[in-house]
Amino acid sequence: MAELPQGTVTLLFTDIEGSTRLLNSLGPDYEQVLASHRTLLREAFQSHGGIEVDTQGDAFFYVFSRAQDAITSAIEAQRAVLPMDSERKSASGSYGDHTGEPAVSDEGYIGSDVHLGARICAAAWGGQILLSPTTAAHISSGSGDATLRRLGAHALKDIEERVEVGQDRCFSRPAAMALPRSE
């Protein structure tokens, strides 16, 4: 594992919505679709300074030193996989960003910031980029392609208090504009 940045960082979590359904429908072809999806996401994230922390199945955990880089890379990743989505060779990705100061251990990041970032991603529908208020506060308004929309406070799994969630709305797909999944 690469040396992880410390202090204030932005954690980016991703997942493919409906990956089990996709696996069942594609059968042996799923392996190639997943490999292509991973390559596109890694290219987008690494081109903006992202460091891969973990991957499990079709999910990624990346860290960025700057929130703007995390959101820009998520937008680029979405754009990169759109042709696969339209060919029904990939499910839409869901993305969750949270900016905080997680502790670094021998195994990677630990702490409530990690859990909050993962829960924000889990609340996203395919095609959605959700972000915490701290990430929104760290993004330069009007810079890059990010256009933020506040979605209000939502209940997230295992998080005691409702969390204000925002989303990037650079895509006009209906699923990308839905309210987060509630717990």
Local mean pLDDT, 10-residue blocks, the chain (183 residues):
88 90 88 90 96 93 96 90 62 86 94 91 84 85 57 71 69 50 53
Q: State how far the Cα of 117 lies from the Cα of 164, in Å rounded to an integer.
A: 12
Q: What is the pLDDT of residue 113?
A: 93
Handedness of CA 151, 155, 159, 160 (dihedral sign): positive
Domains and CATH numbers, the chain: 9-177 (3.30.70.1230)
Q: What is the pLDDT of residue 1?
A: 59
Q: What is the pLDDT of residue 43?
A: 97
Helix 67-86, helix 30-46: angle, nearest 10: 150
Q: State how far the Cα of 9 lies from the Cα of 21, in Å rounded to an integer.
A: 34
Q: What is the pLDDT of residue 136?
A: 87
Note whether 178 and 125 are within 8 A (CB).
yes
Tokens of 64: 């960025």
Note whether 123 and 92 are within 8 A (CB).
no
Scan for tokens 């997230």, then name that residue: 156
